[in-house]
């Protein structure tokens, strides 16, 4: 489990989302973990196929945010908050959320939101102009009333449109789960969780408050969807036991990574000996610098399933981050091989090779890390490590290019531009790396231009 350097900036005012409460604009970090991403993709693919899209064409991204939320913000990516994973009791519940968010993507709702926002803004602008005209004419109270009414109408117009989209995504989600042969029980139970959150936070469930909401009333949504789900042949289909076991491991792993050691050890006490509990405690002990206890948990995991790449990855990661990179190599090499050279696991293996400070391992580290970024270019950690390898071998132009790749994903366009331009000047003209340096420089200039426009 790694916390990516890249930040995700977004505003839920412009995102189709499944949430119990509107969230303010914020910057959030993305969590990257090979096991979690594999599970979420396996949960997503049957739904994507049910929507008539190719498997793998919609990605799921995990966001480090404790609130219960998921959203789409353009493109074919669904962003899921860590708080949603923590709140869910089953993989089936998360699939219900993914089906709903896929409805936003398939329905092109993000484009529609921008259009609706533009129309609402025009209403507000028109009434503001009318209010100014009234004020100039001396009707001050009438002017204020006109502007206030215009803003209320504009907001009502936008929220009505948003509620319509949510209802459409609900219906699409029902259809995708049905087509994929997946029970809607998880979807209903998760919406009930959202309803409980609304009650807990004091949000009105009365019909007269509906016009103030961005989403339909949860009770109405549950009633409408449950009737359709119960009529579906998949309603009583048992959940996928293997997928549920994977979900429980991932959920515990995420909890152990994000919670304090004390919280984790309270939630997963020593008498629990299943894989989820050992996963969570391994992270807790590691964070608390209790390395022998952390390794005891990972050794028990590996003993229970010696060919599990993710158990081996965690063991290697703990050894590496405890200053024992040489001891980490065997576990990380096996994990990389068993995972089919997963780029996230491979990048940790490459880091371990580099951390040994053994120059004889630099060539292998370069091969491993180049393969990792070749399969996953949005991996700032791997780019940073690759830059270190190039620097250690004296290949400064490529070290600068790798640094530029890492910096542009880390929200540092000015430094990225400097490194990309320096790399472009030194790399062989017309080479693949030379072309890529020019692309990164263009991307950095565009980002700097956007920053200037915002200021």
Task: Give residue-wise pLDDT tens across range 28-71.
Answer: 689 999 999 999 999 999 999 999 999 999 999 999 999 989 88
Are 251 and 399 in the same domain? no
**How many domains is the chain partitioned into structurally?**
2
Instruction: Give me the pLDDT at residue 164, please.
Output: 65
Instruction: Give me the pLDDT at residue 228, please.
Output: 85
| Domain interval for residue 173 | 1-255
Instruction: Give me the pLDDT at residue 144, please.
Output: 44
Domain annotation covers residue 311: no
Domain annotation covers residue 105: yes
Instruction: Give me the pLDDT at residue 193, please.
Output: 84
CB 316 within 8 A of CB 335: yes
Domain annotation covers residue 403: yes
Domain annotation covers residue 388: no
Instruction: Give me the pLDDT at residue 109, please.
Output: 52
Residue that finishes a domain, picked among 193, 222, 255: 255
Instruction: Give me the pLDDT at residue 202, please.
Output: 59
Instruction: Give me the pLDDT at residue 97, please.
Output: 93
Domain annotation covers residue 356: no
- Give per-residue pLDDT as tens, 338-383: 999 999 999 999 999 999 999 999 999 999 999 999 999 989 999 9
Domain annotation covers residue 239: yes
Residue that finishes a domain, picked among 192, 227, 255: 255
For 30, phi then psi, to 5°, come to -100, 135
Task: Kindly report the pTM of this predicted structure.
Answer: 0.80
Instruction: Give me the pLDDT at residue 75, please.
Output: 79
- Give per-residue pLDDT as tens, 98-127: 999 999 898 775 544 444 334 434 433 444
Domain annotation covers residue 350: no
| 352 alpha-carbon distance from chain centroid | 26
- Give per-residue pLDDT as tens, 276-312: 999 999 999 999 999 999 999 999 999 999 999 999 9
Per DSSP, 238 falls in state P
Domain annotation covers residue 145: yes
Give the long-range contacts of residues 235-242, CB within 8 A, separation 24 or more. Answer: 235/183, 235/184, 235/185, 236/183, 237/181, 237/182, 237/183, 239/90, 239/91, 239/92, 239/183, 239/186, 240/91
Grade residue 73 by pLDDT with cuts at 50, 70 and 90: confident
Residue that finishes a domain, picked among 255, 284, 312: 255
């Amino acid at each position: 489990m790694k916390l990516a350097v890249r930040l995700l900036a977004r505003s839920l005012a412009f995102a189709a989302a499944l949430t119990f409460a509107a969230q303010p604009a914020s910057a959030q970090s993305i969590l990257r973990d090979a096991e979690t991403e594999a599970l979420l993709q396996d949960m997503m693919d049957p739904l994507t196929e049910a929507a008539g899209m190719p498997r793998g064409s919609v990605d799921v991204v995990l966001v480090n945010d404790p609130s219960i939320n998921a959203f789409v913000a353009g493109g074919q990516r669904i962003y899921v908050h860590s708080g949603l994973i923590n709140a869910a009791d089953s993989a089936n519940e998360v699939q219900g959320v993914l089906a709903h968010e896929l409805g936003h993507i398939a329905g092109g709702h993000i484009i529609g939101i921008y259009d609706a926002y533009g129309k609402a803004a025009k209403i507000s602008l028109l009434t503001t102009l009318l209010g100014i005209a009234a004020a100039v004419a001396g009707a001050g109270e009438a002017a204020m009333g006109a502007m206030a009414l215009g803003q209320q109408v504009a907001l009502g117009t936008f929220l009505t449109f948003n509620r319509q989209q949510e209802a459409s995504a609900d219906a699409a989600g029902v259809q995708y789960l049905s087509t994929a042969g997946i029970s809607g029980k998880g979807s209903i139970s998760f919406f009930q969780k959202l309803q409980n959150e609304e009650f807990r936070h004091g949000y009105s469930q009365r019909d007269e408050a509906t016009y103030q909401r961005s989403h339909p009333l949860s009770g109405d949504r549950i009633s409408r969807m449950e009737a359709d789900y119960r009529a579906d042949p998949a309603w009583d289909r048992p959940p996928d036991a293997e997928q549920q076991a994977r979900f429980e491991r991932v959920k515990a792993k995420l909890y152990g990574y994000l919670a304090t050691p004390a919280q984790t050890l309270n939630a997963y006490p020593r008498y629990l000996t299943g894989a989820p509990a050992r996963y969570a405690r391994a992270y807790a002990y590691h964070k608390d610098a209790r390395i022998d206890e952390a390794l005891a948990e990972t050794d028990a995991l590996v003993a229970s399933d010696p060919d599990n790449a993710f158990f081996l990855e965690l063991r290697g990661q703990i050894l590496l981050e405890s200053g024992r990179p040489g001891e980490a190599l065997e576990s990380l090499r096996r994990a990389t091989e068993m995972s089919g050279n997963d780029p996230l696991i491979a990048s940790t293996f490459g880091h371990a090779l580099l951390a040994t400070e053994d120059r004889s391992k630099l060539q292998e580290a370069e091969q491993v890390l180049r393969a990792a970024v070749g399969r996953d270019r949005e991996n700032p950690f791997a780019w940073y490590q690759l830059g270190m390898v190039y620097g250690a071998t004296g290949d400064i132009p490529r070290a600068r290019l790798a640094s530029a790749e890492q910096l542009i994903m880390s929200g540092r366009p000015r430094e990225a531009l400097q490194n990309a331009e320096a790399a472009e000047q030194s790399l062989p003209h017309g080479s693949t790396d030379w072309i890529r340096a020019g692309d990164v420089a263009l991307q950095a200039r565009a980002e700097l231009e956007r920053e200037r426009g915002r200021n």
